Amino acid sequence: MDTIHVTADADALRGRATQLIDAGRFEAARPLLAAARVLAPPSPELTLVGARLALGSGAWEQAMRELDDGIAAEPAHAGLRKCRADLRQRIGDREGSARDAAEAVIFDPADPQAKAILGLALLDLGRTADAVACLAEAVAGAPTDFDYRQALSSALEKTGDRDTALLVLTDGIDLCPASVAMRNAAILLCVRRRDFTQAVRLAEIARSLGIADACTFGLKGHALSSLGRHDEAAVAYQDALKLGPEDDYVRHLVVSSSAMPDSRRAPEGYVRTVFDGYADRFETHLISLGYRIPGAIRTMLQAHPKIAAGLPVGPVLDLGCGTGLVALAIGDLPLGPFTGVDLSPRMLTHARVKRLYTELREADIIADLAEHPQRWPLIVAADVLCYFGTLEEILAIVHQRLEPGGWFVFSVEAMLPDHDGIIPGNGNWALHRQGRYVHAEHYVYEAACAAGFRVTRVDRPIVRQEAGADVPGLLFAVERIRDDD
Amino acid sequence: MTIDVHLSAVGVDLLAAGRFQDALAPLRLAVSLGDTAPATLLNLAIAEDRAGDRDRGRRLMRQVAVRLPDWDEPMLRLAESLRAAGETMAAEEAYGQVLDLNPSRPEALIALGGLLLMRGQGEEARTLLIRCCGVAPDNAEAWNTLGLTLRATKAPSPALTAFVKAQTLRPGCLDYVLNGVEITLDAGESDAELARLTVACGQDPLNPAIQLGRGMLLERLGRRPEAIDVLEAAAALTPDMVVPLRLLGGVLARSSQVARAQQVLRRVSELDPDNPQVRNDHATVLIRLHRHAEGRTILLDVLDRHGPDIAILCNLANATACLGLQEEAVAIARRAIGLDPRAVLPRRALCNTLPYRDATTGAELLAAMRDCSAVLPRVAQPPLGNNPDPDRPLIVGLLSGTLRSHPVGWLTVAGVETLDPDQFSLICLTQNAAPEDPIARRYRAAARGWIEVDGLNDAALTAVARDRHIDILIDLGGYGDAARMPACANRLAPVQIKWVGMQAHSSGVAEMDWFLTDRWETPDGFEPLYSERLLRLPDGYVCYSPPPHAPDVVALPALTSGFVTFGCFNNLAKITPRVIETWAAILRRIPDARLILKTHQLSDGPTADRFLAAFASLGIAGDRIEPRGSSGHRAFMGQYGDVDIVLDPFPYSGGLTTCEALWMGVPTITLPGEIFASRHSASHMSNAGLPDWVAGSVEDYMDMAVARAGDLAALADLRARLRDQVRRSPLCDAPRFGRGLGAALRRAWQAWCVETSPPMPGHVQSRNVWK
């Protein structure tokens, strides 16, 4: 086979590289740009393609060098300015981004992209009214662009004008009825406003028109669930999972609707998503639901022989510590220091504020127990085992991490027969529609004994209220009695 | 300078330019004018050999060799003439004489090494090439040929070194790069070689050969999206070259990016119109895009220009069947078998076309399947070491090229997802992966292992499956596109089961143990028509997963149109002349009724016209038949809004199509026959609670169509509740299906355990596990 010959058309190569970058195919663009740079002398256009390629590939320092050099050589090039404004925005240089974007607007006043970048920069700088004005101009210049409308809607939401924020998106839907992103943004805004009826209506329109993706169905399920329409929510979640099967959060909700086989515990992704999204209003929400477990744990611990004798118990490991409600409830007892473990970084942020823990670790509790061989005199897990079906694994590893005679205090939600008298699940545990597991008292008791514990006390508190009804719970204190490891 | 010397010089220049024909005249004239210098005579000999009288050329070469017995050149030229003419033994002898005269002559060493290699004498060839590389270390071809000899003698690592050396000496030569890629995995140096190629690409951005090599290596490593990026860049650098585009087209086609592959391969065909393989590649992707008429036209032209070829005939057979020309398709497949009765491909083509032909019996189809199985290559394998514990968790392998939005996907994914994960862990052995496809992603999410096997031959696939200790292998491909069922002949797992995916009938494969079915597909008494044991599920044999994007069901169209509209959205391969006759008879009995035919192939005008003409010949006016072509899936389903009743084709019934019609509120009248493919709709309709739509004969089918069309109130009522009925039926009840499938797989496994474990003395085997 003979040697093959290459084109000498650098412009064509640069044009193709630009198309590929626009399509997010950076690795395909890279060799074409390299070839174009061999074939043609430096130019602002080549610099821009190179900078966009570096930006898209995450090589921000290289992108900045290319842009700085390019702008030094060609200060009035609007494209280079916009690109650097974008880059500066990404690295948090808000002032610099606004300056470059403003220059780009001056050099090319008709360019809506420059105005949009400027608007976003102003929004970051807290100049919300200016941002709204800029973004409104960007939207006027390119009324079908989703990103500009999304940015304008966000800016308006920040001003508190949620009606206009929604109108920007619904107008966008009228102009671009095939844009699923526009529809999802509008539905999400309705969910944030807690206007679930409108969210369901918009999602249903999207579905009936066939302009719906996994996100649409997931949001619809969320809104329906918030309206108490659980059966319809289950169907929406099933459809969401068909289109987004990698989503652990949705998968767990589908499993909890019995449309898929039970898993033995809630996936990490589910728990993290739930609690990260929940962290900012967690405590007020729990209090409004009559959450009583921390108080019940306090009552139970007062029966601990050392505490009853006024002696210090020692360090405490708080599994699934959340925002730190348990430490708050028992912090005045002769216990501590406290170490907390939780999957949700936002929950941990709230716990950190309370200054009750000497150490907080973001981790799955099983993984954390496996990783840290330290032994504890007391481990607590409040409202955590409701994300596990089978308890054998967690009980076994907690047993390994307790000192002889150490206590493990944990709560579960009690499994009760349904209204037909049928025991749900496998008789030991069942997954409920809300995504939490419930457990039979006999199962927890037997699993604890099998793991090498003695059950010292079982209380039956009300965990909280749900839809106005009490949710019964079980609070176990178990003591490590066997040392076989 | 004399005239003869001048003429001789002109001839030499023309020879050097490769213009052998033009060189003949001046050289002949020079010799006739008296220039009989050995060099002139040899130049004339070369010109005669290449463009004139070959025998004269060789005589002249021998004459010069006799005149100058110590000169190696005339004998080298003679050797090359013999090699070019395919006279390999004589050529070898001549090259040997060259080396006797000049043991260091590189051309002779390379050529003789190549000839020895071709007839399997790799060791001897390697010795010659090592000598050649020693005496001519800057000769790239010497290093490349040395690499080939090392590869043939199972020395992949030194072979790679030799290919890399050849590339260094001649960096723009694609062959050297591709030879290196081919050996890299065997050499176990893929990471290092990829890194080397990546660096080389950066250093020499205008060298597409290196980029192509990098792209092909990425594909070998299973990194297809990156491979496509690299190959596309290389093709952009060389917009008018065939090879880069052809490599790109191949990878795109293997990545299920068939539309893009078609565009690329069409361009390749334009650039290289006389290459039958290139045109076959193009036709293949057109057929995959359901553009069968265009594909068939190309294939017929290739056969016309280049003569019969098995691969092209097999493609043609499939395209012909898909255009509704079933008898012709079977005849083409038989013609291909005639070209080579031991070849597998034509037997597969026959197995794939026979089920569509009217009146093919179950026994006839089973015989064809068995004949195909008989020619499958089989290599003795060591015994399987799977632990025959009847109750332990099992590893289930799914073998398929269609784990995506495809009938296989729509009909199996929900069942697979709902298998008890504590009892069954899944490994997908897949081809033509479509990473973005939602159903492919569902399989991937459900599976604990995902292995793309496109690059593996059957032996390697067998090794992979066995290494993973797969307990139950389910074939979901049969003999279809990108199917790997033939590998099952080497037994990938102790239990092998045929399920959806060209499951037209029994696989006929002796090593296929079970056939997943139900009581409607294979009622009691059908066992003799199957080479496998029948593994009947408690409900239907599939579970339909309706698409979230399906439009809502609309009211019965007859209520507003005033006439009944029948419809059939099945592949034209299923619509036989007998089906057309039957439908025409129904339309004659209901004079205002219409029929919508919708499928990809009807996008082709002449094909649609042929069907209209067939109806016209039976007295049905063109305005009563509406052919509709391709559309997106949602639009496809939405068009059931124009249909009151579906008429199923026979003998090959609708499968997924019937489920989709049900989901859109439209029931199907069906006529099951003897072969498995003829009974799909009967299974789905019965499973959905509509067994009274299954006809017992052609007359019954016609009477049923007339009767159902005459009761619009009942039709409207059924339509209004059908989606909900189907949703609640076993056809869509995934958890229920998953339990049934799990129990069936366990039965099959336990049967193997019983049969594998020797019974204990005195033990009475009482379990009849396969009933």
pLDDT tens digits for range B369-418: 999 999 999 999 999 999 999 999 999 999 999 999 999 999 999 999 99
For residue B156, being part of any structural domain is answered with no
| Euclidean distance between CA atoms A321 and A340, whole angstroms | 5
Q: CA-based angle A56:A61:A67, to the nearest 5?
A: 80
User: Does B724 touch chain A if contact means CB atoms closer than 8 Å?
Assistant: no
For residue A8, being part of any structural domain is answered with no
For residue B414, being part of any structural domain is answered with yes
Burial B106-115 (b: 16+ CB within 10 A, else e): bbbbbbbbbb
Average pLDDT over residues B611-617: 97
Q: Which residue of chain A comes nearest to B742, CA vs CA?
A: A261
Contacts of B85 (CB under 8 A, 6+ apart): B54
Average pLDDT over residues B618-632: 96
Going by pLDDT thresholds of 50, 70 and 90, the confidence category of residue B424 is very high
Task: Please state the ipTM of this predicted complex.
Answer: 0.79
CB contact under 8 A, B445 and A246: yes
For the cut 60, the answer to whether the pLDDT of residue A280 exceeds it is no
For residue B11, being part of any structural domain is answered with no
For residue A425, being part of any structural domain is answered with yes
User: Does A245 touch chain B if contact means CB atoms closer than 8 Å?
Assistant: yes
How many residues are listed for chain A in this entry? 485
Supply the CATH number for residue B489's domain. 3.40.50.11380
Check whether residue B626 and residue B489 sit in a common domain. no
Average pLDDT over residues B649-655: 97
Residue A433 has a pLDDT of: 64
For residue A163, being part of any structural domain is answered with no
Tell me the residues of chain B between 160 and 179 that have a Cβ less than 8 Å away from chain A. Answer: 170, 172-175
Tell me the residues of chain A between 252 and 311 that have a Cβ less than 8 Å away from chain B. Answer: 258-261, 263-264
Residue A229 has a pLDDT of: 78
CB contact under 8 A, A245 and B172: no
Which of B304, B339, B357 is the endpoint of a domain? B357
Check whether residue B573 and residue B517 sit in a common domain. no
Tell me the residues of chain B between 409 and 428 that have a Cβ less than 8 Å away from chain A. Answer: 417-422
Going by pLDDT thresholds of 50, 70 and 90, the confidence category of residue A484 is low
For the cut 90, the answer to whether the pLDDT of residue B254 exceeds it is no
For residue B276, being part of any structural domain is answered with no
Residue whose tokens read 């170490």:
A339
For residue B498, being part of any structural domain is answered with yes
Residue B358 has a pLDDT of: 94
User: Does A239 touch chain B if contact means CB atoms closer than 8 Å?
Assistant: yes
> Coil, helix or strand for B729?
coil
Residue A196 has a pLDDT of: 86
Tell me the residues of chain A between 199 and 218 that have a Cβ less than 8 Å away from chain B. Answer: 207-208, 210, 212, 217
CB contact under 8 A, A7 and B202: no
For residue A145, being part of any structural domain is answered with no
| Euclidean distance between CA atoms B653 and B673, whole angstroms | 9
How many domains does one find in chain B?
3
Q: Which of A3, A7, A27 sits opposite B172 (nearest CB)?
A: A3
A174 vs A151, A156, A170, B552, B560, CA distance in Å? 18, 19, 6, 22, 30
Check whether residue B452 and residue B506 sit in a common domain. yes
Check whether residue B564 and residue B528 sit in a common domain. no
- Using an 8 Å CB-CB cutoff, list chain B residues near A39: 206
For the cut 90, the answer to whether the pLDDT of residue A324 exceeds it is no
Residue A291 has a pLDDT of: 61
Average pLDDT over residues B619-632: 96
How many domains does one find in chain A?
1
Average pLDDT of chain B is 94
Q: CA-based angle B244:B250:B251, to the nearest 5?
A: 95
For residue B71, being part of any structural domain is answered with no
For the cut 70, the answer to whether the pLDDT of residue B667 exceeds it is yes
| Euclidean distance between CA atoms A161 and B101, whole angstroms | 96
Task: Give B213-218's long-range contacts (Cβ < 8 A, gap of 24+).
Answer: B213/B174, B213/B177, B213/B178, B213/B180, B213/B181, B215/B247, B215/B248, B215/B251, B216/B178, B216/B181, B216/B247, B217/B181, B217/B184, B217/B190, B217/B193, B218/B194
Check whether residue B521 and residue B598 sit in a common domain. no
Check whether residue B608 and residue B525 sit in a common domain. no
What does DSSP say about strands B394-400 and A429-431: parallel, antiparallel, or unpaired? unpaired
Q: Which of B205, B238, B738 sits opposite A4 (nearest CB)?
A: B238
Rounded to the nearest 5°, which phi and psi values hold at B597? Answer: -110, 125
- Using an 8 Å CB-CB cutoff, list chain A residues near B545: 242
| Euclidean distance between CA atoms B650 and B700, whole angstroms | 14
For the cut 70, the answer to whether the pLDDT of residue A483 exceeds it is no
Please give the residue range of the domain that contains residue B336: 295-357
Percent of chain B with pLDDT over 70: 98
Look at A253 and B30; give whichever has higher pLDDT. Answer: B30
For residue A248, being part of any structural domain is answered with no
> Coil, helix or strand for A333?
coil
Query: Which stretch of A16-20, A461-465, B34-38, B745-749 has the lowest confidence by average pLDDT?
Result: A461-465
The amino acid present at A330, given as its one-letter code, is: I
Q: Which residue of chain A comes nearest to B236, CA vs CA?
A: A13
For the cut 50, the answer to whether the pLDDT of residue B524 exceeds it is yes
Residue B765 has a pLDDT of: 45
Tell me the residues of chain B between 239 and 258 that have a Cβ less than 8 Å away from chain A. Answer: 239, 241, 243-244
Contacts of B31 (CB under 8 A, 6+ apart): B4, B40, B41, B44
Q: Which residue of chain A comes nearest to B176, CA vs CA?
A: A1
Going by pLDDT thresholds of 50, 70 and 90, the confidence category of residue A388 is confident
Residue B81 has a pLDDT of: 94
| Euclidean distance between CA atoms B200 and B629, whole angstroms | 49
Tell me the residues of chain B between 549 and 608 that have a Cβ less than 8 Å away from chain A. Answer: 549, 551-552
Percent of chain B with pLDDT over 90: 87
Q: Tell me which residue of A266, A198, A207 sits closest to A235, measured CA to CA.
A: A207
Residue A277 has a pLDDT of: 56
For residue B221, being part of any structural domain is answered with no
For the cut 70, the answer to whether the pLDDT of residue A267 exceeds it is no
| Euclidean distance between CA atoms A82 and A99, whole angstroms | 10
For the cut 90, the answer to whether the pLDDT of residue A194 exceeds it is no
Supply the CATH number for residue A387's domain. 3.40.50.150
| Euclidean distance between CA atoms B528 and B505, whole angstroms | 12
Please give the residue range of the domain that contains residue A355: 272-480
Going by pLDDT thresholds of 50, 70 and 90, the confidence category of residue A353 is confident
- The Cα of B373 is separated from the nearest Cα of chain A by a number of Å equal to 37
Q: Which residue of chain A comes nearest to B232, CA vs CA?
A: A28
For residue B327, being part of any structural domain is answered with yes
For residue A344, being part of any structural domain is answered with yes
Beta bridge partners of B399: B429, B475
CB contact under 8 A, B548 and A207: yes
- The Cα of A477 is separated from the nearest Cα of chain B by a number of Å equal to 30
Check whether residue B637 and residue B685 sit in a common domain. yes
CB contact under 8 A, B233 and A29: yes
Q: Which of A35, A239, A246 sits opposite B441 (nearest CB)?
A: A246
User: Does A180 touch chain B if contact means CB atoms closer than 8 Å?
Assistant: no
> Coil, helix or strand for B689?
coil
Check whether residue B684 and residue B607 sit in a common domain. yes
User: Does A29 touch chain B if contact means CB atoms closer than 8 Å?
Assistant: yes
Chains A & B: contacts with CB separation below 8 Å: 112
Average pLDDT over residues B661-666: 98
Task: Give me the DSSP letters along B84-119.
Answer: HTT-HHHHHHHHHHHHHH-TT-HHHHHHHHHHHHHT
Average pLDDT over residues B3-26: 87
Q: How many CB atoms lie within 10 A of CB B590?
A: 16
| Euclidean distance between CA atoms A365 and B632, whole angstroms | 47
For the cut 60, the answer to whether the pLDDT of residue A283 exceeds it is no
Check whether residue B711 and residue B577 sit in a common domain. yes
Check whether residue B401 and residue B317 sit in a common domain. no
Average pLDDT over residues B212-222: 92
Using a 10 angstrom Cβ sphere, with 0-12 exposed, 13-18 middle and 19 or more buried, the burial of residue A136 is: middle
Check whether residue B306 and residue B407 sit in a common domain. no
Look at B568 and A92; give whichever has higher pLDDT. Answer: B568
- Using an 8 Å CB-CB cutoff, list chain B residues near A38: 205-206
Check whether residue B300 and residue B423 sit in a common domain. no
- In this structure, are residues A318 and A384 in contact, taking their beta carbons and an 8 Å threshold? no
- In this structure, are residues B703 and B544 in contact, taking their beta carbons and an 8 Å threshold? no
CB contact under 8 A, B442 and A28: no
Q: Can you read off the two tokens belonging to residue B131?
A: 């000598």
Average pLDDT over residues B707-734: 97
Q: How many CB atoms lie within 10 A of CB B589?
A: 13
- The Cα of B171 is separated from the nearest Cα of chain A by a number of Å equal to 8
For the cut 80, the answer to whether the pLDDT of residue A269 exceeds it is no
Q: Which of A25, A243, A260 sits opposite B438 (nearest CB)?
A: A243
Percent of chain A with pLDDT over 70: 88
What does DSSP say about strands A437-439 and A429-431: parallel, antiparallel, or unpaired? antiparallel
- The Cα of A428 is separated from the nearest Cα of chain B by a number of Å equal to 16
User: Does B141 touch chain A if contact means CB atoms closer than 8 Å?
Assistant: no
Query: Which stretch of A425-439, B271-285, B676-690 has the lowest confidence by average pLDDT?
Result: A425-439
Going by pLDDT thresholds of 50, 70 and 90, the confidence category of residue A435 is confident
Q: Can you read off the two tokens belonging to residue B612?
A: 């209209």
For residue A329, being part of any structural domain is answered with yes
Contacts of A101 (CB under 8 A, 6+ apart): A81, A82, A85, A114, A117, A118, A121
For the cut 70, the answer to whether the pLDDT of residue B761 exceeds it is no
Going by pLDDT thresholds of 50, 70 and 90, the confidence category of residue B268 is very high
Q: Which residue of chain A comes nearest to B418, CA vs CA?
A: A260
Task: Give me the torsion for CA of B447, B453, B458, B463, rounded to 10°.
Answer: -60
Average pLDDT over residues B216-237: 92
Q: Can you read off the two tokens belonging to residue A278?
A: 């929940």
Terminal alpha carbon distance of chain B: 100
CB contact under 8 A, A212 and B209: no
